[in-house]
Amino acid sequence: MVHTNYLYYKACDESAPLPDGCQSHSARPVCWLYGWMGSNPKHVSKYVELWNNKGYNVYSYCPKSYEVFFQPSLTWKTNSMLDQISCHLSSNPECKTIIFHCFSNGGGFFYSNLMQKINTMEEYKHLHSYIKGAVLDSLPTIDPVSGFKAMKVASGALAFYFALLFAPLFMLLWTPVMIRYRKNLTLSSSRFPHLLIYSKIDLLVTENQVQNYKKLLEKQIDSNLVMSKCFDDSPHVLHYKIHPKEYVNEIDSLLEKIKAKTK
């Protein structure tokens, strides 16, 4: 992968098929991918390859634990990422499509922040028309307790117990962040197909939490734009590893819905 600014860029091979609607390599769509908190490029490489094989160029980023729990770094970096994507679109004017693929709340917080800025900041509003779909894998939750669990998994026991030590202050500061997170993930302007992927045994983002989010999203946008797949036996962010064929089939179904909507 080539490291460009904060996002890693991996262009698909020229031998990859041209997706529907593309007449040239410069028109290839973009997958904008965010890993989970504590992930690394090796973890997300199979997802980058998945999209490259479908003819998509991929920009990806793996969130650091501190960026999720200490928001200023996240906010600052997303400005640079938006500029980076804008530069790609300016250099490839035939490219008309962006699809998000985000994992867990780590990726979800970046997606949330990006959507807020695309909807409210004049210099980024032009990007909204490019967004054609979103894959949300193992997210979201607005339960702060789940945030503590995620910190323990991603950062280890030391950071987890440090957070517990300052739990009252953490909760005071965290609650408005979670409210804003939910708001940005259910914007009425996000009228593009969403695919929610989750499971019955996920201990960090439970089936019930995703289903509650699904109901909120369906109220804000057309319910026909909300697709979902609940697996029975795959742990948090491991759905593709356990069910590779079904996972790809769900993404193909999303792409078909996007194709039908943009006709």
Q: Is the peptide bond before 140 cis (omega within 30 degrees of 0)?
A: yes
Residue 3 has pLDDT above 50, yes or no: no
Query: pLDDT by residue (tens digit) across 42-67?
Result: 999 999 999 999 999 999 999 987 78
Residue 164 has pLDDT above 90, yes or no: no
Query: pLDDT by residue (tens digit) across 195-222?
Result: 999 999 998 899 999 999 999 999 999 9
Question: By the 8 A CB rule, do 130 and 262 touch?
Answer: no
CA distance 185 to 234: 24
pLDDT above 90 covers what percent of the chain?
Answer: 71
Residue that the structure tokens 């797949």 belong to: 229
Banded model confidence at residue 95, pLDDT cuts 50, 70, 90: very high
Query: pLDDT by residue (tens digit) across 101-145?
Result: 999 999 999 999 999 999 999 999 999 999 999 999 999 987 666
Banded model confidence at residue 167, pLDDT cuts 50, 70, 90: low
Banded model confidence at residue 38, pLDDT cuts 50, 70, 90: confident
Banded model confidence at residue 166, pLDDT cuts 50, 70, 90: low
What is the overall mean pLDDT for the chain? 90
Banded model confidence at residue 155, pLDDT cuts 50, 70, 90: low
Q: What phi-psi label fits residue 196: left (phi over 0), alpha (psi between -120 and 50 degrees) or beta? A: beta
Q: For each of the domains in the chain, give its residue range(s) and CATH number, in order of start.
A: 2-262 (3.40.50.1820)
Question: How much is the pLDDT for 213?
Answer: 94
